[in-house]
């Protein structure tokens, strides 16, 4: 099975193996081995909880080298509305756009310009597939991957359409081709508020290749814009690019309830990954029924609370709400993207079916998997079930699974070690060696022996 690309990385120099990330991880993807946090690529969904909880800042988000943009003659930046919400009210959108041009981009495109077209495509899909209710939004790539690895029975409920960033990238590339720009001369770069969007671009689900060429972290671009404005020190704004009309729904799309408020019927909007897991469990078990549409976002308060956000999420939400009100008072203009609406609706459908990637599967052979499950139950009978994390796994059940899969030893449990020592089945030196394998030799460098 092909592995996911993951943008979340662990710095061995900074990691102390403190287990904060391991405990916070909603999919149990993290273990501590040799005193360092390690991420299981098959289980990680790039939700960013580990990044937010790490006290050592040992977890970071990998991004493309910014200078990569200069490999292209035409350099397009896809800007989600949440980026504009990072700046205080006295900073105009024209200033932000001008700074992006000054740093080397040749065109600035607001990602959410394609939202109205996407929303129409979603309505059409839901109208013709009513038997698949409740429909689940594919907006958040961390949620899509979560469903793949932990709730595979819910996959058919995910609306199999590309998202606004993809449609906007497809549109601007077509627009440039119509202007006579060769395809290979255009580089499209997305400013991301989270790690999951990076992973979605590097290894997209439901399509072979993303229409986006690179990704730039939002906190990086925010600081770069701020530095540029400081250098200019009120010397005036350079010429700003022509900007298309964004509807109130498009501006609010990345916020909580941005999608849910756009559709009829009984719609739910859930944010924060643990809340998402809770609602998916209830939907899977038919504890909640009669739902038409579910908007699920992994980050607290959706993209405003993304791991790469540079400012307080509540202030970001306030600023975007103000922009929504201002947009509502504007006369709607005929924008360029509407000319390609039919083409983009056709392009919106994912060419590849979203498939399960269950982390619960113990073996491809059903008989072997059943035998392994029995072993897990037997191991659980002797484990203390306190989920202390001292073994380097997030729970006793996780350790039991690791033991059955040959990834860990039962003796890593400190309670089991105590019994083995009492029965003289291991020596004190052997017990220390077991602990060193989990927590690293440096933790035991004092006069322990």
DSSP string, 45-65: ----HHHHH-TT--EEE----
290 and 258 co-located in one domain: yes
46 and 123 co-located in one domain: no
Evaluate whether residue 285 is within a structural domain. Answer: yes
Q: What's the whole-model pTM score?
A: 0.88
Burial letters for 147-179: b for 16+ Cβ neighbours within 10 Å, e otherwise? bbbbbbebbebbbbbbbbbbbbbbbbbebbeee
Evaluate whether residue 353 is within a structural domain. Answer: no
Beta bridge partners, 267, equal 293
Evaluate whether residue 355 is within a structural domain. Answer: no
40 and 95 co-located in one domain: no
Please report the pLDDT score of residue 92 as a whole number: 85
Q: pLDDT tens-digit profile of 385-444?
A: 999 999 999 999 999 999 999 999 999 998 998 888 888 888 888 888 888 888 888 777
**Rounded CA separation 84/303 (Å):** 12
Evaluate whether residue 376 is within a structural domain. Answer: yes
Please report the pLDDT score of residue 233 as a whole number: 64
122 and 85 co-located in one domain: yes
Evaluate whether residue 252 is within a structural domain. Answer: yes
Mean pLDDT for each consecutive 10-residue tract of the chain (449 residues)?
77 93 93 93 91 93 92 96 89 89 94 95 96 96 94 95 95 93 95 93 90 94 91 59 76 94 95 96 94 96 92 92 83 71 93 84 84 93 91 93 92 90 86 86 62
281 and 419 co-located in one domain: no
275 and 314 co-located in one domain: yes
32 and 83 co-located in one domain: no
Token pair belonging to 41: 């690529």
Domain final residue, candidates 39, 62, 85: 62
Please report the pLDDT score of residue 2 as a whole number: 52
CA distances from 390 to 46, 55, 177, 236, 433 (A): 24, 18, 58, 58, 14
Evaluate whether residue 357 is within a structural domain. Answer: no
Q: Which of 355, 417, 348 is nearest to 166 (CA)?
A: 348
309 and 382 co-located in one domain: no
Evaluate whether residue 415 is within a structural domain. Answer: yes
Going by their DSSP bridges, the two strands 30-33 and 74-79 should be labelled as unpaired
384 and 256 co-located in one domain: no
**Rounded CA separation 210/75 (Å):** 16
User: Burial level of 449, CB count in 10 A (0-12/13-18/19+)?
Assistant: exposed
Please report the pLDDT score of residue 236 as a whole number: 53
194 and 299 co-located in one domain: yes
Name the residue range of residue 381's domain: 362-444
The total of other beta-carbon atoms located within 10 Å of residue 388's CB is: 14
Evaluate whether residue 352 is within a structural domain. Answer: no
């Amino acid at each position: 099975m092909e592995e996911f690309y993951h943008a979340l990385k662990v710095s061995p120099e900074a990691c102390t193996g403190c287990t904060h990330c391991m405990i916070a991880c909603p999919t149990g993807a993290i273990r501590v081995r040799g005193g360092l946090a390690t991420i299981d690529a098959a289980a990680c969904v790039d939700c960013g909880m580990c990044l937010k909880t790490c006290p050592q800042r040992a977890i970071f988000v990998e991004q493309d080298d910014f200078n990569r943009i200069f490999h292209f003659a035409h350099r397009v930046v896809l800007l989600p509305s949440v980026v504009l919400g990072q700046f205080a009210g006295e900073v105009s959108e024209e200033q932000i756009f001008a700074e992006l041009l000054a740093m080397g981009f040749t065109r600035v495109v607001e990602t959410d310009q394609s939202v109205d077209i996407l929303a129409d495509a979603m309505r059409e899909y839901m109208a013709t597939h009513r038997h698949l209710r409740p429909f689940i939004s594919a907006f958040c790539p961390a949620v899509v991957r979560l469903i793949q690895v932990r709730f595979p029975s819910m996959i058919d409920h995910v609306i199999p359409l590309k998202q606004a960033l993809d449609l906007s990238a497809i549109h601007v590339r077509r627009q440039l081709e119509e202007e006579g720009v060769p395809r290979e001369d255009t580089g499209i770069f997305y400013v991301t508020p989270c790690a999951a969007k990076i992973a979605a671009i590097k290894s997209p689900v439901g399509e072979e290749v993303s229409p986006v060429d690179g990704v730039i972290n939002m906190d990086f671009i925010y600081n770069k814009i701020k530095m540029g404005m400081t250098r200019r020190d009120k010397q005036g704004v350079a010429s700003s690019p022509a900007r298309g009309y964004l509807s109130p729904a498009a501006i609010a799309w990345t916020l909580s309830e941005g999608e849910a408020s756009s559709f009829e019927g009984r719609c739910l909007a859930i944010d924060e990954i643990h809340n998402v897991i809770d609602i998916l469990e209830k939907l899977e078990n038919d504890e909640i029924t009669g739902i038409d549409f579910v908007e699920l976002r992994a980050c607290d308060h959706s993209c405003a609370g993304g791991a790469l956000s540079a400012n307080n999420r509540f202030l970001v939400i306030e600023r975007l709400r103000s922009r929504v009100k201002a947009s509502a008072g504007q006369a709607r203009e005929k924008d360029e993207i509407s000319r390609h609406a039919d083409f983009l609706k056709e392009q919106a459908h994912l060419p590849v079916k979203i498939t399960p990637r269950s982390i619960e599967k113990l073996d491809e052979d059903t008989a072997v998997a059943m035998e392994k499950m029995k072993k897990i139950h037997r191991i659980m009978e002797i484990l203390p079930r306190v989920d202390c994390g001292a073994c380097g796994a997030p729970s006793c059940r996780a350790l039991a699974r690791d033991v059955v899969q040959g990834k860990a030893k039962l003796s890593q449990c400190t309670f089991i070690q105590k019994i083995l020592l009492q029965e003289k089945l291991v020596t004190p030196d052997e017990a220390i060696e077991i602990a060193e394998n989990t927590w690293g030799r440096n933790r035991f460098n004092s006069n322990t022996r």
